[in-house]
Every structure is written in structure tokens, then in C-alpha cells.
Amino acid sequence: PQTIYLSDYQPFGFIVDSVHLTFRLAPTATRVISRIAFRPNPAAQSRDFFLHGEQLSLIDAKLDGAAVSPELTPTGLRLDVPDAPFVFETEVEISPETNTALEGLYMSNGMYCTQCEAEGFRKITYYPDRPDVMSVFTVRIEGDLPVLLSNGNPVAQGDGWAEWHDPWPKPAYLFALVGGELLNHPDTFTTKSGKPVELNIWVRPGDEDKCAFGMEALKKSMKWDEDVYGREYDLDIFNIVAVDDFNMGAMENKGLNIFNSSCVLASPDTSTDMNFERIEAIIAHEYFHNWTGNRITCRDWFQLCLKEGLTVFRDSQFTADMRSAPVKRISDVIQLRARQFREDNGPLAHPVRPESFVEINNFYTATVYEKGAELIGMLKTLVGDEAYENALNLYFDRHDGDAATIEDWLQVFEDATGRDLSQFKRWYSQAGTPRLSVSEEYADGTYTLTFRQSTPPTPSQPVKDPRVIPIAVGLLNPNGDEVVPTTVLEMTEAEQSFAFDGLAVRPVPSILRGFSAPVILQRDTTNEERAFLLAHDTDPFNKWESGRALARDGLLHMIRDSAAPDMAYLEALTAVVRDDAQDPAFRALAMGLPSQDDLAQALVDLGEIPDPQAIWQALETLRQATAQHMQDLLPRIYAQYQVDAPFQPDAEQSGARALANAALALLSRLDGGAQAQKQYDAADNMTQQLAAFGCLLSAGKGQAATKAFYERWKHDRLVIDKWFTMQIVQADPDQAADVTAALTQHPDFTMKNPNRFRATLGALAMSPAGFHHASGKGYALLADWLIQLDPLNPQTTARMCSAFETWRRYDADRQALIATQLDRILEIDTLSRDTREMVERIRK
Ligand code: HT7
Ligand code: ZN
């Protein structure tokens, strides 16, 4: 397969003035008739008229009305064309029903739908399927279905047909079509300039009672984007459609967002608080793409972070405004460390703006999305809020309608602020997580912090240059008063010192407040100081971070030296949990422990080989010790934070439920699950029911609940996904692979539905002690299923290969077992390009 390089970018030889498409829908023989007006692109050097096209049967082709016979290749067609404007027409046949890859036009439970990002449009018709080719689309859909949708505004419709026109030029990846027997949840929104917008969420019959929350989230997002970014919606209608079979979370097609049903359907009975929060964030994310992604798109796929990093940053700001900003920041950092730091530390590490790829679908990664968002956050910290706002306004003014680059983005900031951002640009080109070590000195009232930055080598990048790092620091005096409020230090050198004068006593530093840069802070400190910061830091992130560091070091001590649980941690945590003045959601987060994966990486950083079983055991021991240490407090917390009011998925109620359920998990270790059984029996919402189910499984008392849960929810596919996952993540590590294998034989298991596949095999991959079982049975099971899924759905298969990305961390026996599975996958001649690229990168 061919490697594509950023440095090879060339504009397309032609401009597309308009696109007319007609779809005659039929499950195995849909006809797509296209009429595309081209003219030569004066900015391009080449006039090679090559249109992408895959898995298409060409029926007919015409140039300016005359029949032509283009040269057909496995990836498209080529034709000699005039050096003047012309119209090219084709008719092709495609088969949505047999399209299990869920890319292009496919069918899901009788519904036609599309997924074109990144390169799916070429499976619909012949087209220059690249994001810098933008055009106005008019679409006619013919099909015996009551609902026929496409992008833009409706033009006309009749029995069995509908026409849509999208006035905003767009790349083909934002094209969408939906056809089916759908019901809508309607509403309206009036924009700030008084324009009414029709809103709809379209679902399969039976799901119509699960749309209200998503609709509220959409309206809040529309209002927030007007208030905070000055961005108004630009069509008469905004449609959202829920689809069961979907490779990712959702897709921002212009005016017609398509959602994985798990990311839009919500009800208290069937969705947890976490589901509600995620749905709100994803609806916002897709809506915000209307400006950051659609009105201003990417010149090429290397610039993916231009739209994704910025849109993730914007959706995080939205959630922080709608809910609790500190809780959102802490949750984001937990995720960043779990997914992006893991990626940055392994064979799949790549820059936020990659410089080459084989299959672009493999680069929708935590690095592009989450680290991409961190870069925007750092820029904002460096230039300040007002300059950020000015720069964004300039970005929207200057680049509306453009397919832009990271250079364009940074130029806007340079022009708006007068700053030179050439060093900042290294964040986009250098992979790897910088390590930031710090030493301190105090003499004569001056306190000096000296930082050193270094980034370990990553694939094809052995040496890194120093980056600009915004380090937010505050200083406290020993009685807990803040003597220096948060100050942003701008580190630009490999080693750099910063002095604070006029301090009567040696202060306690709070470094990297708010996690001001995506780095690993390495600082030798004492447990006393951590406990002090956990009690006194005014920065909520660092307050939480101190508790997390205490827990982590205690656990590492337990794993490496067979030490007992750390009393300093237990005391400090108990004080936080007891303190009713603090936000319950924050206290629930403080009760969380570092993940098995975090601990494995921490051991690697200490030069050790992690033992997944020992890590799991240490976490179990610490949880048991915490339960015992807090045994008098837990019943009080559990009772006090029960919510009596009618269910609301808001920050306040969900924080209380999170704290009560964290207490329940510990209580279950003391009472053998008695309280959990009561909660399970009485639960009137999914948050309470699922938490109790998890506690029962973990206590070994889950048999009856497993049956009851299934009987109660067997009609609801999204709840049954939770049922699959919970049994696996709560299984004893010795059993996890066997439980997973048994569940793959359940009649409700299907690999054709990505949600179900992820709920099962993905759950095993997320359970390190079970997945890395010394027998290798976890590896073999996952490989078996990846091999089966690949011919059907390469995209989902390839994404799940990242379960193996940490393999070099482990002992020689485990490495050999994994290598055997990776090689077994690579031996398959017909392996997809997606999966081959991933496995080859991992295996190297
Ligand atoms: N821009 C979208 C990314 C995407 C995608 C979505 C669904 C299925 C396949 C996909 N490939 C790429 C989603 C987003 O970031 O908003
Ligand atoms: Zn996105």
C-alpha cells in the first residue's frame, strides 16, 4: 500500500462549480447519477483528471453530454478532458445492503445512511474525494420510504422522492443521505439575528421517548456558540439522525448530523449520568463543527487537528460552562493520560499533525483529538483570553469558506497578537510527551524553580527540540495561605529557572496548575507535602492531582516492595471524603485510583517490567484497606448523598450519585453486597442500577442480577451493551477471557454491530489483568475476533488493534505470546490496509 506524505500536497487540477446527485435507492442495486461542473484550477500545476472511486459499477459516463470511456483503475477513473469548463456525468451502481464496512452508503436495520469522512464518498460515486475540493450540492433522492434526508435545506418533496440543496460549498466528506421509516422529535431555535431554525432528531420507532435530552443539548449548544464564539447557525433546518451501526460516535455532516444511537438516545431508565454527560458533549461537538470544520475545513487530512483539536477544545469549554469546570478538567486529564499518553509512549506515537499515513482512518486518534485540544488550551493560556477571542474572530473572518492549514491557524494568532509562534509550532510536529523535571532552591527570601524538559524518542523522531511550555504555578505558605497566586511561567529553553522574591518563609509550590501543559511532571516530594496540597491547594486540579500522586506512589510501593497501604493516603483521602463543604463530584473523583495501565507505565518509567496481576492485586488490596479505614464514614456518606428529588442528569445530582456510588463500591467490600442488592432492587434509574450491578458482580454475588438485568432489558440494545461490558470488566482476571469468550457465543452477540463488538472484545482489552493473563488466552481471543471482523469492518478492527500497543512493556513470555498473535494477523494475505498498517506499526 502507498504511503501518503504531507510534503507531497498538490492542489487538484480542477475546481468543482456544482454537483447534482440523484439516488435511486435499492438495497443491493442503488443507482447514483452525478452531474458535476468542472473548470481548470489556475492555482494547480497538474491537469490530471483522476476521480476517486471504489467498489462502484460504472454504468455510463458522459463528457459534455457525449458518451466517454474513462480508464478505470482499482481506486478510480482517469479521462482526458478539455482545458476549459466542462460537465462530467456518471451513473454507477452500488450495494448498500452488503456494505458491512459502514463507510459510504450502507444499511442499518432497514435504514439507508452514509458515512463519508474521511474517504467514504468515493464508495458512492466518482469524485475528487479530498477536503480541499469544495462545492455546492443539490441532491434528489428516490425511494419508497417516508423519510428522505440530505444536507442543506429541503427544496421539494413528493411521494417517494425528496430534493435538497446545500448552499454552502463543502467537501465530499460532509455529504450525507438518510432514508428510512423514522420518527422525529421536532423543535425550533431562533438565532440571535432572529432567524428561525427547524430542529429534528430522527429515530427508529420505539426510540422517540429518548430524544428530549439530546434536543435540549442541541439548543444549549446553539446558544452557547452564539454567546461565546459569536457563531450563528446558517441553514433553515438542522437534522440529527440516530443509527445503530456506526463506527465512531457521530458525524458532523452539514445540516444532517448522523449519530451512533449510543451517543444521542437518552432516558433516565436506560442511560447513566456518564452517558448523559457524554451525549451532551458529543451533540455540542458535532454542532460546533458547523464552524470549526464545515465553514472552515481542512486543506488535507494531515490538518485533521485543525478541526478536531479545536472542536474538542470548544466542547470541553462548553461542558465546563454547563457543568463543573474543575470536574471537567480533571476528567479530561484522566482520559488524556489513559489514551493519549499511552499512545505517545508506544509504537503508535505520532505528531498532532502527522507527516505521513497509509490509511487516514487510523489517525483519528487521541493525539489528534485530545492532544490537539491541549495545544489550543496552551495557546489560549499563552496569549490570554482577550487575544484568544481576537484571534478566533480573525480566523473566522479570514478563512470562512476555506480549506485551511495549521500554518493559517498559527498565522492568525501571530497577526492578532504580534507573537512569534515558530517554537510553539513544534507541538504540532514533534511526537511524544515531554518530561518536565523540577528542582527548588530557597535562600534569602528568594525561591527559585528550575525546570528541565526532555522528550523521549518516538518512531522516526529520535531527537526533539525544546518546546515552549506554559507552566502555571502558585505558591502557598506553610499555614496554607496562598502567597503567590497562579502565575504562568513561559519555559522556552531545555533548562530554565524562575525566581520569586520577597518570601518570608520557604513556600510550598503548586506546579502545573490546571494541567497547563500536556507533560509528565517529575518532582521529588514528600507525602506530607502532597497531603498538605490535597488539603490546602486553591487550584482544584492540583488538589486532586496531589491525592492522585499519593495514591500512585503508595501503590507503586505496594507493588515493588510488598508494602502495606499508605496510611498518609488513607488519612488524607478520608478527610476529603468527609468534608461536606467540598463538591461531591470532586470527592468522588478523589476516591478514584490510578488505572492499571497508568501504574504499568509508571513502573516502566521506573525501569521495571510491570506484572499486570500484581498491579490488579495492589489495587484490590488498597480498595479493601480504604473500605476498612472508612468503615464508619461510608454509611453516612452513602445515606447522605442519596437523591430524593425526581431524576435530573445535571451536575448536582450526578455528583451526589457518583459519591454515593463510590461509597457503595467500598461498602460492598464490607457487607458482601447486601446494600448493593437493596439498591439494585429499588433502583429507578440506570445510574443506580448499573452501579449496584457492578458491585454485586465484584462481590461475587451477581448471578441473580445478571439474569434479572438481561430479562428486564433484553429489548434494549444499548442497555444490553452495558450488560455485556459489566460482566467482563468485573470478572476476576483469571476468568475475564473465558467470560468474554462465553459472551461471544450469546445469541445477542454480533460482530456486525460495532457497539456490541466493542462492548465485548473492547471490554476485555480495557481490563489489563484479564487481557494480559499469563496464559495468553486474552490475546488469542482478541486476535481470533479481529481476524474474523477485518473482512467485514476494517475500520473498527484496526482501531481495536491498539489493545496491543503497550506490548513491549511486558515480560519476554507475554511479548512472545503477543508477537505470535500479531504475526498470525499479519500472515493473512487479504488483511485490510487499515489493519495491516496498525499491526505493522505495533509489531515493529
Ligand atoms: N469528524 C468525525 C470523525 C470520523 C467519523 C465519524 C463516524 C464514523 C467514521 C468516522 N471517521 C471519522 C467525528 C467527529 O470528530 O466529530
Ligand atoms: Zn470532531
Q: Ligand 1 centre and the CA of 387: distance in Å?
A: 30
Give pTM, 2 decimals: 0.99
Q: Ligand 1 centre and the CA of 469: distance in Å?
A: 30
Say what the pLDDT of residue 426 is. 98
Q: Pick from 676, 663, 655: which is nearest to 630 by CA? A: 663
Q: Ligand 1 centre and the CA of 250: distance in Å?
A: 6
* Residues 297-429, CATH architecture: Orthogonal Bundle (1.10)
CA–CA separation, 612 and 132 (whole Å)? 46
Say what the pLDDT of residue 82 is. 97
Query: What is the DSSP code (8-state) at residue 704?
Result: H
Quote the Cα angle for 308-358-806, to 5°. 75
Asked casually if ipTM beats, i.e. exceeds, 0.95, the reply is yes
pLDDT band at 2 (very low <50, low <70, confident <90, very high): very high
Ligand 1: which of 364, 755, 795 to mutate, most ligand atoms within 8 Å of CB? 364
Report whether pLDDT(600) > 90: yes
**What topology is assigned to 435-524 in CATH?**
Immunoglobulin-like (2.60.40)
Q: What is the mean pLDDT of the chain?
A: 98
CA–CA separation, 12 and 38 (whole Å)? 11
Say what the pLDDT of residue 749 is. 99
Q: Pick from 142, 210, 150, 146: which is nearest to 181 by CA? A: 146
Close Cβ partners of 350 (under 8 Å, ≥ 6 residues apart): 343, 363, 365, 367, 431, 458, 459
pLDDT band at 619 (very low <50, low <70, confident <90, very high): very high
Report whether pLDDT(278) > 90: yes
Instruction: Select which of 103, 117, 277, 286 is catalytic.
Output: 286
Span 337-363, average pLDDT: 98
Q: Do domains 4-181 and 297-429 have the same CATH topology?
A: no
Give me the CATH code for the 4-181 domain, please: 2.60.40.1730
* Residues 714-844, CATH architecture: Alpha Horseshoe (1.25)
With beta carbons less than 8 A apart as the criterion, state whether 640 and 662 touch. Answer: no
Span 590-602, average pLDDT: 97
Report which ligand 1 atom has the smallest distance to the Cα of 289: 16
Helices 651-671 & 633-640 angle (0-180, nearest 10): 140
- The pLDDT > 90 percentage for the chain reads 100
Q: Ligand 2 centre and the CA of 289: distance in Å?
A: 7
Asked whether the CA dihedral 226, 229, 235, 241 is positive or negative, the reply is negative
Report whether pLDDT(746) > 90: yes
Q: Does residue 620 carry a catalytic annotation?
A: no
Span 90-108, average pLDDT: 98
* Atom 12 of ligand 1: nearest residue by CA position: 117
Report whether pLDDT(1) > 90: no
Residue 682: CB atoms within 10 Å: 10
Alpha helices in 641-735 (DSSP H): 651-671, 674-682, 686-698, 703-713, 717-729
pLDDT digits (tens, 9 = 90+) for 749-807: 999 999 999 999 999 999 999 999 999 999 999 999 999 999 999 999 999 999 999 99
Q: Pick from 426, 389, 387, 386: which is nearest to 406 by CA? A: 426
Span 206-216, average pLDDT: 98
Q: Which amino acid, one-letter code, is at 399?
A: H
Which residues, judged by CB distance below 6 Å to any ligand atom, belong to the binding site of ligand 1? 115, 117-118, 247-248, 250-252, 285-286, 289, 308, 364
Report whether pLDDT(523) > 90: yes
Q: Pick from 137, 105, 104: which is nearest to 118 by CA? A: 104
Say what the pLDDT of residue 650 is. 98
pLDDT band at 450 (very low <50, low <70, confident <90, very high): very high
Close Cβ partners of 648 (under 8 Å, ≥ 6 residues apart): none
Strands (E), 49-160: 50-52, 57-63, 66-67, 71-73, 76-78, 86-94, 104-108, 111-115, 135-142, 147-150, 153-158
Cell of 624: 479493601
Considering every ligand atom shown, identify the ligand nearest to the alpha carbon of residue 252 and give its number.
1
Residues, CB within 5 angstroms of ligand 2 (ion): 308, 311
Q: Pick from 721, 687, 473: which is nearest to 585 by CA? A: 687
With beta carbons less than 8 A apart as the criterion, state whether 453 and 429 touch. Answer: no
- Parse the chain into domains and list their residue ranges: 4-181, 297-429, 435-524, 714-844
